[in-house]
Amino acid sequence: MNQHVVSCGMQIVLFILNQPTTMNDTTFSNNKRPLLLALAWSFFFLLPPIKAYNQSASQSNIKNGYESELVQWNHQLKGVSYALNSSKTTPCQRKVLTKILKYTEVYRNQLQKSYDRTSEVLRTFKENDPELFEQVNNIRDKDGNVTDVYIKVINDYGAENGIYGSTNLNQSAHDIDAYTSPYGDYSVLVKVAECPKVLSLLAHEFGHVIYQVPNLASYVMYYQQAYGASGNSITGRGHLPDDPSHLSVKRVLKSFHRKSRKGP
């Protein structure tokens, strides 16, 4: 599998540097590692099948990228609470479970905030440009396979590497025309930074999705030739002047900003 992204960084989003953010980062520090290990053990013990969940999720092809993870952590929270309240739990186990419960609640609440914010952004985007939203919502690959587009609005995304939006670029192991992402085959993962221009960032990434999903195999070949050995920094990939995905972004953004000025 090719491990690439088209990443949208300094050349388009310098204006959002140092913008204040509103959500907390969903990570733990190293000194929480023993607890995380215990959490991971109980997580897998209690884990519902993610694939089964994804297959039964909403009919819309644009999906909130936090949804399946949130369902899992809600499940985890119930499992830990159940174990904590069980009469068979020893005092020693209860002590460990109490700590696990605390961190599970913290992480789950942060996920909920990320999920809610992503849902809000998607709702607003649909109101601003329903045509573009529906175009991505109905995106299919070269062979006509419906392809889901998972969206994550991420707090502090881009703070370290100058990348404020990305669309993954990966081919399925069994079909070079089929997109794949961490969510499985026939799916794309789009990440955008939480910032005042988040709608514009999302429109930008939708420009990549609109070109790359139906032209995956040919675009991967172009991408490898254009960026593979060129030494381009990751922030420049996907945006050479003659890159067809870049040209798609330009077209989409022009239309999006025209509609945004008019209002929904």
Q: Can you give the binding site for Zn ion, defined by CB under 5 A?
A: 8, 238
State the number of CA atoms in the 13 A half-sphere of 129 facing the CB.
Answer: 23
Nearer to Zn ion, 178 or 190 (CB): 190
Residue nearest to Zn ion (CB): 8
Nearer to Zn ion, 111 or 154 (CB): 154
Rounded least distance, CB 211 to Zn ion, Å: 11
Rounded least distance, CB 152 to Zn ion, Å: 16
Neighbours of 148 (CB within 10 A): 22
Angle between helices 198-212 and 216-227 (to 10 degrees): 110
Nearer to Zn ion, 83 or 192 (CB): 192
Alpha-carbon gap, residue 255 to 253, rounded angstroms = 5
Alpha-carbon gap, residue 228 to 68, rounded angstroms = 33
Rounded least distance, CB 205 to Zn ion, Å: 7
Nearer to Zn ion, 26 or 168 (CB): 168
Alpha-carbon gap, residue 56 to 64, rounded angstroms = 14
Rounded least distance, CB 28 to Zn ion, Å: 30
Nearer to Zn ion, 12 or 122 (CB): 12
Pairing of strands 184-185, 175-181: antiparallel
Rounded least distance, CB 253 to Zn ion, Å: 10
Alpha-carbon gap, residue 45 to 170, rounded angstroms = 30
